[in-house]
Chains A and B, each alone.
Chain A
Amino acid sequence: MKDDMTLGERLRQRGVSRRGFLKFCATTASMMALPPSMISAIADSLQKAKRPSVIWLSFQECTGCTESLTRSHAPTVESLIFDHISLDYHHTLQAASGDAAEHARDEAMKQNWGKYLLVVDGSIPVAENGAYSTIAGITNLAMLQEVAEGAAAIVAVGTCAAYGGLPHANPNPTGAKSVADLITDKPIINVPGCPPIPTVISGVLAHYLTFDTLPELDDLGRPKAFYGQNIHDRCYRRPFYERGEFAETFDDEGARKGWCLYKLGCKGPTTYNACATAKWNEGTSWPVEAGHGCIGCSEPNFWDAGGFYQALSVPTGDASNTILGAAAAGVAVGAAAAVLNKRNKAKAAAAHEKVTVNDLNKD
């Protein structure tokens, strides 16, 4: 297969019809969280899209991000996107190992210097001169710096790469850092989540592939298309919040009837992600639909932000009354709660509160 083929040519070669391509563009627009009115523009761009080289580096991580990405059933839109990119180095997925793998990375860098896309999952340990994690005898820090130098842009996939994640949690024994902590002279797109939603990962790559530009980012480096609104504002249970109907325990009447999980510790009001609409497992469901509150996994320092089962307002005393009383006032409450709870998150982070059995049984 020629490497200079466009995506349109590649799909046609595979026997994908023009209607199939239209469908591909419609579902890609949906995946990129773009309005359907953009479908024709996406079709025009994707027809001409060239095959980009991608180098994927996995550092201090659990492989959950790669697992997330590869969970989709083939052939899907995601698989078509990933068949199109040239994934030149990914030490979990590639067949080569040892010197051959590192040689593949060197070759990809030389041939595509200044043009390849670097994807990173996992945080980078810098304590003890980076000795906590090495690949082929090279510290994660040295490998990141070397590969980042020739990259056109970097995508930090998962909360560990974006903000440090679990390895960065107090007391951070390995000195874990995020990509953006260490690389400051390249465009970086953060795609946080523990793990991120597969369609969000591929949606970001599809955006780069389609428009050859980076998507618009928020102040934490996340694409606004996916992280522009908080979980609470996009939650199908939001009407229950407005009416003051809350589950108080995981097995009460409110829980069975699908009421709001705010009082059970849902971090939806302070968490920005696309779970409420993109959902998981081929769009089957997502944590709140399954009856569990959001744990805020796409936010910095979420491991240190207090117990998963503590209501957001709890740390400041009787704030639940403040919030619930104001609920009658309507939509502005979500924003008020978010402001209030950002402050609480910082306090909880400093105190490093742990989740206990009591958190699960709170009255």
Chain B
Amino acid sequence: MSTLDAIAVKVEGVGIASGNAHNAVPLLHEIRHALWNLAKTGDSTTIDLTSIPFGPADRDQLLDFLGEGEVTARVNALGETQVKETRYPGVWVVRHQSPVGDELATHIEVTRLPSMLITPEEDLGEAAAQLAADLDMDATDNS
């Protein structure tokens, strides 16, 4: 057999139907509080799912419950990062992967726009200079 996936394994007690996912509901309430906080104060919240003691069923339950919303984005920086807004606007799932696809961290960001999607300020000046250079202009020419 070439991969672990090729080994037939029957797993019981995993999945929402099993009733064995207990840890997702408290986190959903934490997200609810974070949403109220964002709406009232504008303050963002980030929850690191990697640091939560989740079993296989817990994460499935959480992500199934949050569902998918209008926005999906992929960022190619040091491997792929997938950014998805859930069916609750302002609640985003941000998955950081290594260049070979291994999961590095998964964050729930309760914010208007996740930081990975915002162009870094320092890049703006460099981009203008680069574009000018590509147009055979003086890099400092902002006329």
By a beta-carbon cutoff of 8 Å, the part of chain A in contact with chain B is 16-20, 22-24, 26-27, 29-30, 33, 35-37, 39, 73, 75-77, 234-239, 256-258, 276-278, 282-283, 289
Whole-angstrom distance between the Cβ of B21 and the nearest chain A Cβ: 9
Selecting from B64-72, B85-93, B94-102, B128-136, the interface stretch reads B94-102
Q: Kindly identify, within residues 95 to 119 of chain B, every residue whose CB is under 8 Å from any CB belonging to chain A.
A: 96, 98-100, 102-105, 107, 115-116
Chain B residues near A236 (CB-CB < 8 A): 22-23, 53-55, 58
Contact A36 B104 (CB under 8 A): no
Whole-angstrom distance between the Cβ of A281 and the nearest chain B Cβ: 10
Name the contact of B52 in the complex, choosing from A258, A277, A283 (C-beta under 8 A).
A277
For the complex, give the distance between the alpha carbons of A22 and B107 in Å. Answer: 13
Name the contact of A36 in the complex, choosing from B58, B77, B107, B120 (C-beta under 8 A).
B107
Contact with A along B1-45 (1 / 0, CB 8 A): 000000000001110001010110000000000000000000000
Name the contact of B105 in the complex, choosing from A16, A19, A26, A75 (C-beta under 8 A).
A26
Contact A19 B96 (CB under 8 A): no
Given contacts A239-B23, A282-B102, contact A35 B55 (CB under 8 A): no
Q: Kindly identify, within residues 51 to 84 of chain B, every residue whose CB is under 8 Å from any CB belonging to chain A.
A: 51-56, 58, 75, 77-79, 81
A-B contact pairs, 17 of them (CB 8 A): A17-B77, A19-B120, A20-B78, A22-B115, A23-B79, A23-B104, A29-B48, A30-B51, A75-B99, A77-B104, A236-B55, A239-B22, A257-B12, A277-B53, A282-B103, A283-B103, A289-B56
Whole-angstrom distance between the Cβ of A86 and the nearest chain B Cβ: 22
Chain A residues near B47 (CB-CB < 8 A): 36
Chain A residues near B123 (CB-CB < 8 A): 17-18
Chain B residues near A37 (CB-CB < 8 A): 46
For the complex, give the distance between the alpha carbons of A26 and B103 in Å. Answer: 13
Given contacts A17-B77, A76-B102, A76-B104, contact A23 B52 (CB under 8 A): no
Q: Which 10 A-B residue pairs are closest in the complex by CB-CB distance? A: A236-B55, A36-B46, A20-B77, A257-B13, A20-B78, A239-B22, A18-B120, A258-B13, A30-B105, A19-B77
